[in-house]
Amino acid sequence: MANTTLTAAKAAKKDEFYTQLADIERELVHYKEHFRGKTVLCNCDDPRVSNFFKYFTLKFNDLGLKRVIATCYKSQDVDLFSMNASEQAVYQIYDGDKDGNNMPDASEIEVRPLKGDGDFRSAECIELLKQADIVVTNPPFSLFREYVAQLIKYDKKFVIVGHQNAITYKEIFPLIRDNKLWLGYGFKGGAGHFYSKYEDVATAGDHREGMIRVSGVTWFTNLDIEKKHEELILYKHYTPEEYPTYDNYEAINVNKTSDIPCDYDGVMGVPITFLDKYNPDQFEIIDINPHFYTIVECGLQKPKQLSLKNVGMKDPYARILIRKRK
């Protein structure tokens, strides 16, 4: 495989890669209206290296923020990229410019010690979470399920980076189906370059020194964004030849999101990338590759796939089953 995939990073529990300021800006420009008067928490972010903390302190006035808090996680692993001079896990607070130079100076950023290691699940970090209105970060991918579950439990708004594979997790898919979580605008070309010490296996043309290319990364959010209300224009017409039905599920197969027929009212199996265009007023999500996520999670059997054998077609890998709303 040409690119380092997040799956690979996840498998190896490689959680140390850092988001670029430009990628944060490109996404968050669409959420500006949500931040006025709000407390933002970046809870997987060493404030001394995190571009999330940097972004919110620099944009503090522009966004009209109330407070920015960032907590850092001190792992026992001394070899981590995030290792810095201090052994102490800390959190930092910024309440805005005080000296009139409109810059977040070091003297205006309050550094406070944490008792524990800064794990987002610890009681003291949960206390900080409770103070926050919106959580924005790139959390450790190996803990993505737990991370999202905690945000939902504490009823927090969030904009976070994750891998599109997470869509199929049994803990995540129902949130998407029930309109409690959706995809943000995403990374350019569906891949991100992150600062990291891990070896990059991107092709030469895509290699950037000191970075890894991670394909399939995206943004997950529960903040309302314009994109979610845009109607997908449907122009193709249904024919049984072009849209065969599955052998084992009552639905037609659609190979490309742009090919969704405008005149079919039944259930349709569409690629996972459909979620990039998903407008819950236009479509209803019913299921994902019938129980695909459950079986994958159990890890005992091969995922049950939708079958198109009767028409001699390859089985589609993963399909989201949707229906047009009337």
Ligand X SMILES: C[S@@+](CC[C@H](N)C(=O)[O-])C[C@H]1O[C@@H](n2cnc3c(N)ncnc32)[C@H](O)[C@@H]1O
- List of residues contacting ligand X (CB under 6 A): 15-19, 44-45, 50-52, 73, 75, 82, 118-120, 137-140, 143
Nearer to ligand X, 128 or 167 (CB): 128
Beta strand 39-42 with 67-71: parallel, antiparallel or unpaired? parallel
Distances (CA, A) of 160 to 114, 147, 184: 23, 10, 9
Longest dimension (CA), the chain: 72
Nearer to ligand X, 194 or 243 (CB): 194
Torsion of CA 127, 43, 33, 191, to 10 degrees: -150
Nearer to ligand X, 163 or 319 (CB): 163
Amino acid symbol at 197: K
Distances (CA, A) of 292 to 141, 168, 281, 303, 311: 20, 7, 25, 5, 22
Nearer to ligand X, 138 or 257 (CB): 138
Please state the closest distance from residue 290 (CB atom) to ligand X, in A.
Answer: 32
User: Helix (H, G, I), strand (E, B), or coil: what is residue 324?
Assistant: strand
Pair 139, 159: CB distance under 8 Å: no
Burial category of 201 from C-beta neighbours within 10 Å (exposed 0-12, middle 13-18, buried 19 and up): middle
The length of the chain is 326
Nearer to ligand X, 15 or 276 (CB): 15
Nearer to ligand X, 157 or 177 (CB): 157
Burial category of 122 from C-beta neighbours within 10 Å (exposed 0-12, middle 13-18, buried 19 and up): middle
Please state the closest distance from residue 105 (CB atom) to ligand X, in A.
Answer: 22
d(CA 214, CA 24): 15
Please state the closest distance from residue 44 (CB atom) to ligand X, in A.
Answer: 4
Please state the closest distance from residue 64 (CB atom) to ligand X, in A.
Answer: 23
